[in-house]
Amino acid sequence: MEGEGSLEQTAAEYVLHLFITGATPNSTRAVRNIKEICEQHLKGRYELLIIDIYQQPDLARQEQIIAAPTLIKKRPVPLRRLIGDLSEREQVLTALGIFPGALRENGHE
C-alpha cells in the first residue's frame, strides 16, 4: 500500500488512530468522546486519524482490529488499545497517560 509510513511522520506529541464502523451509534459516540478529550486535555499536541474499517479494510487488517470502535495510541509509547465508545473518561485518560489532577497542580490545564 503506497504511503503507509506517512501516517507515523508527524511532530504531534500524541498520535491516535480511531477505527470505526461507519456512522453507527457506538462509532459516532467514540468520535465525539475522543475529540472532546483531545480538545480538553491535548489541545495543539495531538494528531487524530479516524479510519472507517469499511472503507479501509486493509489498514484494519494490518492493525489487527478485531472490534470497533478501537482507539490505538501510537505515541507516546507504550502503544495502547482501547475498545468501545470511549465514554469512560477516567479509563481513557489513564490509558493515554493523562492525569488531570497532576496537570492542574503543575498549572498546565
Give the start-to-end residue ranges of the domains of the chain. 11-105
Determine whether 57 is exposed, middle or buried from the number of CB atoms within 10 Å of its CB (0-12, 13-18, 19+): exposed
Question: Any idea which fold 11-105 has?
Answer: Glutaredoxin (3.40.30)
pTM of the model: 0.82
Report how far residue 31's alpha carbon sits from residue 11's, in angstroms, rounded to the nearest whole number.
22
- Tell me: pLDDT of 107 over 60: no
* pLDDT over 60 at 61, yes or no: yes
* 82 residue type, one letter: L
Mean pLDDT of 57-67: 95
Nearest to 54 by CA among 97, 23, 12: 23
